[in-house]
Chains A and B, each alone.
Chain A
Amino acid sequence: MSPVQNVPAFSILILMLCGILCLVLPRTASRRLADCAIALVAAGNIALLLYFLRGADAYIYSMGEIGAPFGNELRAGMLEAAVASLFSIITLLSLMGGRAHLRSDIGRQKVNLYYISTLFLLCSMLALVYTNDLFTAYVFVEINTITACGIVMSKEDGYTLAASMRYFIMSLVGSGLFLISICILYAVTGHLLMSNIQEGVAQLYAQGQYRAPLQVAIALMGVGLSLKSALWPFSSWLPDAHSSASASSSAMLSGLVLKSFIFLMVKIFYRVIGVGIMRSHAVLDLLLVFGILGMVMGSVNALFERDIKRLLAYSSIGQIGYIFCGIGLGTSAGVAAAMVQVAVHACTKAMLFCAAGGLMDASGGSKKFRDIEGAGRRDPYAGVAFIVGTLSMVGIPFFGGFITKLSLVQAAVTVGGWRNLLSILAIITSTILTAIYYINVLAIVFRAPETAPTKASEKLREEWKKQVRLDTEYEFAIILFIILNLTIGLQSDRLMQIITTGLSMFG
């Protein structure tokens, strides 16, 4: 039992503790505390990842000494460590990236509350990643919902409140369904710990009993978590929520929150219900079809958008579709592709949202394309970040997007029949559409001002250019983001290894 092994428990506890402390500390102190806490957690998780990389096997970490039925367990493997460290790094970077907006959007006195909800958000995400107990998972799902709505509501203008309320209600519906499915599982198998439930379910399937309740449980589980992670039919809340929130919060929401629920769904499917049953289970076809619809519909809607943040939100729906298409393929290669997309999309989308924040600063806070024209020239950091983001989204080698497309196509090609054809067609159309609207935005962002339509907007742009304040922290975050994306792109080989070994340890 090397000291590193208890990193998961410690990281959750530290985040809770700091969350509470922030309540009482003054503004600047709470800011520094939150940053340190997140940095510490990130370091811990990276150490854990290195530990696993040196060849250790996944282990169960039981909380306290109480026995099985009542005690609580965490399970840590290479995949969990990697995802957790990624989440924490991105949260840190998003906070730093969106700092300027926090000041202007949230106002002085409420900043502490913002830090509290961020910390608790990260704590709940790490818990979802590590937990091995269904009920704990439900508890942290609830915490996650509340804190996510919290960081959305923090912006306090009429439109955001309406959007967050809509987001809150839809999430509660999702977690409600999730709770019902847990109750059914508990009623049927009598256990709450994932490993025990798995044995129970395996027995039931073997004896052929309770087939219907199990199906219903899986269905509710699927719908609940899809709703939380914005799979296409259930994603109508996402565009308003993510676009109206402030830069850092939308980065966290799009990048991390959605992914945590997906990670939970994968864990439940493979650890609770078991690989054998899931391989040929009908829910995967549904996930594949809705995933494909999501890919296409997300991109189509993004094509017609004239507001940069809504465009990025719709693009998230599309990318989530990608992930579910990977899961829906049913093979381990498919899930690996999904996991790669989780990692890559997290980094890219967070960076894009921060860059969008920067562009909005450089064009007087407006999100409309008309005003953003030439913003890339005024705020070069945001411009370059946007270029890297677009290249990755389009799938140019050397960038993250390429490896996702590569792995997904590899997975799709090995699967035979209609799945193969449908997914390939979807990939082609979504790549084209993504390329169109991203490069369209790129063209607008970098269009030389001379061709802008009116004289008046000429003068306006001049003052905006003067307004751009030098914000070192924001630039530092953008640079880090770009480095993170490039490393993911270049080190994609090692990332692939981590994910595949992680998955093999997963079951």
Chain B
Amino acid sequence: MDLCGFTMSFTTAGIHGLYAVMACFMWFVSLAFSLEYMHHYKHKAQYYAFMLATFGATAGVFLSADLLTTFVFFEIMSFTSYVLVIHDESKGAMRAGETYLAVAVIGGMVMLMGLFLLYDLTGTLKIAELADACAPYAGSGRLYAAAVCMLVGFGAKAGMFPLHIWLPKAHPVAPAPASALLSGILTKAGIYGALIICCRMLAGDEHWAAAILAIGAVTMFLGAFLAVFSSNLKKTLACSSVSQIGFITVGIGIACLTNNLSEMASKGTVLHMVNHSLIKLLLFSCAGVVYMNLHKLALSDVRGWGRNKPLLGLYFAIGALTISGVPGTSGYISKTLLHESIVEVIEEMEHAGEAVWMLKGLEWIFLISGGLTFAYMSRLFFCLFIRKNRAEEVQKGYNNKMHPYMNVLSASVIALPAAAMLCIGAVYWQHHYYTWTNLKGSLTSLAIGGLLCLLLKGKDLKELKFDLEDQVYRPVLLKGLVPLLAGIASILTGLGDNFVRMLQGGLLRQIQPHEERFSPMDWLRGRRFAQRWQEIRMDVLDSANSLSFGLLMAVLGLCVFLIYLVRN
């Protein structure tokens, strides 16, 4: 179908189809939940319109067969989702929206640049043909440039390390169903792009894979670290999304390293993406319920609210366990797959005799962040459902279960993702996943998690002072770069005008009416020595007429004659 001036092509093959279905499911659940959530919210019409628009765009992104179509829907998705973010127009929301839009637009532009370079290099943007189109240019700088640009674009949406700043800010302010979708599906769109780059364009390129792994590791650890220290319910979940994206990036990195041969890596990545979407849908829904009733999200306020709400506790527990990768849950399976793929690569590299210490480090970070995940999830669970609120009367208020905290529809709807996760866990209940080596990995991370949880239990951790965006990005960009460029531009603009003004002031100055032009004669006449000269002339004239002057001149003339003639 040719639309927008070029042919748009769509496909439902493989991952495209899978994720399209996932998108539909996610949207169904969140819309159903938001019926109740939005009940007493303002601008409902605007909310539902843009939710549907975002759904369309996201579906388009997943189903598109060539990168150009992907980009088209990608942009639409960015803008429509922006409206969701700033839905309740609070000051925080506006500022977060601003950051979100800036990152989205910058990411979009850089990705477009990547597309240009790629199109110029290979001549085609069809995803299917990309693999063999990029093969001849394997190591060339232009391919790397294109890939980097596209990675920046997709990475920004996915929330990878350098451009993750908008995620922790955007989700808390967005309405719960929206933030569920944001972290569930939209990040997956980013990952979808990253997947194409790594597994289609640069499959098997060590340098590229190493970079991806590095980014993945950093994101993984950073996300988890931030999550542990956040004191807001939704902010923790957002940071956990960042961390989970880190896990998936590592998976992609491994897949790219092994040139798509390692089946475990690719299966693990896909499975983990699915798991993460469902988990975030579940957890954010729970957070939504909490916000729906209390309109507060800070952990200190919400503490102890869920003590007498067993159903909510169950849902939250399922989510927490899956995300921490406790054996038996689908989370465990995907994490183990990823972990095993790393171990497999290490052995292979050891076998080939290359340096392996880097991958070993990666494995350890994998395990530690797994532990951290378990730590903050359990902290949430304990805070929400186990511990009592510090203030007695608040706790009493929470306890008396007079009105239902969520109606039947939303309860059943939230149940769906939980059920889906459990059955995935069940489907993969084959034995070989539970061999000792696999179990050892997850148990070590759980142990670390438990240890940390004990350490931090009871203490209220304060917010991290350091915030990458406010300290680094905004000052560099707004205070440094923009004024500099603005200065250059104003000099350039002013060039023409100042030149003309300088000319008119100096060389071409117009002689105003009745302005006396300087005339040398008048000046001379006015001078003092002019009168003096007049008198001198009168005396000279009088003397000139006297006889003596005549004789003097005659004598002088005679002398000149004689001297001159005698000489020659």
Contact = CB atoms under 8 A, between A and B. Distances in A.
Given A215-B565, A282-B568, A170 B551 contact: yes
Given A177-B558, A216-B566, A223-B557, 11 more contacts: A166-B547, A216-B565, A219-B558, A222-B561, A233-B554, A234-B550, A234-B557, A237-B550, A286-B560, A286-B564, A304-B537
Given A239-B545, A286-B560, A234 B565 contact: no
Given A166-B547, A239-B545, A233 B557 contact: yes
B524 to A, nearest CB: 16
B530 interface: no
Contacts of B472: none
B553 interface: yes
A286 B560 CA distance: 9
B544 A236 contact: yes
A290 B558 CA distance: 12
Given A166-B550, A215-B566, A236 B545 contact: yes
Contacts of A285: 564
A283 B561 CA distance: 7
Contacts of B537: 304
Contact of B550 (A222, A236, A290): A236
22 contacts: A165-B547, A166-B550, A169-B547, A169-B551, A212-B566, A215-B565, A216-B562, A216-B565, A216-B566, A220-B558, A223-B557, A226-B557, A227-B554, A231-B557, A233-B553, A233-B556, A234-B550, A234-B554, A236-B545, A236-B550, A282-B564, A286-B560
Contacts of A286: 560-561, 564-565
Interface in A205-225: 212, 215-216, 218-220, 222-223
Given A170-B554, A233-B556, A283 B565 contact: yes
B549 interface: yes
A219 B560 CA distance: 9
A123 to B, nearest CB: 27
A173 B564 contact: no
List of 9 A-B pairs having minimum Cβ-Cβ separation, nearest first = A236-B550, A233-B557, A219-B561, A215-B565, A219-B565, A166-B547, A223-B558, A233-B553, A219-B562
A240 interface: yes
Contacts of B556: 233
Interface in A229-284: 231, 233-234, 236-237, 239-240, 282-283
B176 to A, nearest CB: 104
B557 to A, nearest CB: 4
Interface string A421-442: 0000000000000000000000
A231 B553 CA distance: 11
A226 B558 CA distance: 10
A220 B554 CA distance: 12
Nearest to B568: A282
A173 B551 contact: yes
Tell me whether chain A's interface is mostly helix, strand or loop, or mixed.
Answer: helix
Contacts of B547: 165-166, 169-170, 237
A218 B1 CA distance: 120
Most buried by A among B544, B556, B557, B568: B557
Contacts of B549: 236
B550 A170 contact: yes
Interface in A282-322: 282-283, 285-286, 290, 304
B162 to A, nearest CB: 85
A215 B554 CA distance: 18
Interface string B1-32: 00000000000000000000000000000000
A474 to B, nearest CB: 30
Interface in A19-71: none
A218 B544 CA distance: 28
Contacts of A218: 565
Interface string B44-70: 000000000000000000000000000
Contacts of A220: 558
Contacts of B557: 223, 226-227, 231, 233-234, 290
Nearest to A173: B554
A49 B566 CA distance: 41
A265 to B, nearest CB: 13
Most buried by A among B537, B544, B564, B565: B565
Interface string A163-175: 0011001100100
Given A219-B562, A219-B565, A223-B561, A240 B545 contact: yes
Interface in A433-483: none
B31 to A, nearest CB: 105
Nearest to B547: A166
A223 B553 CA distance: 11
A231 B568 CA distance: 23
Contacts of B544: 236
A236 B72 CA distance: 107
Interface string B63-98: 000000000000000000000000000000000000
Nearest to A237: B550
B550 to A, nearest CB: 4
Given A166-B547, A169-B547, A234 B553 contact: yes
A3 B553 CA distance: 48
A244 to B, nearest CB: 11
A487 to B, nearest CB: 37
A201 to B, nearest CB: 15
Nearest to B560: A286
Nearest to A217: B565
Contacts of B545: 236, 239-240
A166 B560 CA distance: 23
Interface string B524-568: 000000000000010000001101011101101110111011101
Interface string B224-246: 00000000000000000000000
A280 to B, nearest CB: 10
Interface string B378-414: 0000000000000000000000000000000000000
Interface in B118-143: none
A154 B488 CA distance: 94
A74 B290 CA distance: 152
A194 to B, nearest CB: 21
A216 B559 CA distance: 11
Nearest to A240: B545
Contacts of A170: 547, 550-551, 554
Contacts of A283: 561, 565
Contacts of B551: 169-170, 173
A212 to B, nearest CB: 7
B554 to A, nearest CB: 5
Nearest to B550: A236
B354 to A, nearest CB: 97
A282 B547 CA distance: 30
Given A212-B566, A282-B568, A236 B561 contact: no
A240 B556 CA distance: 21
A399 to B, nearest CB: 32
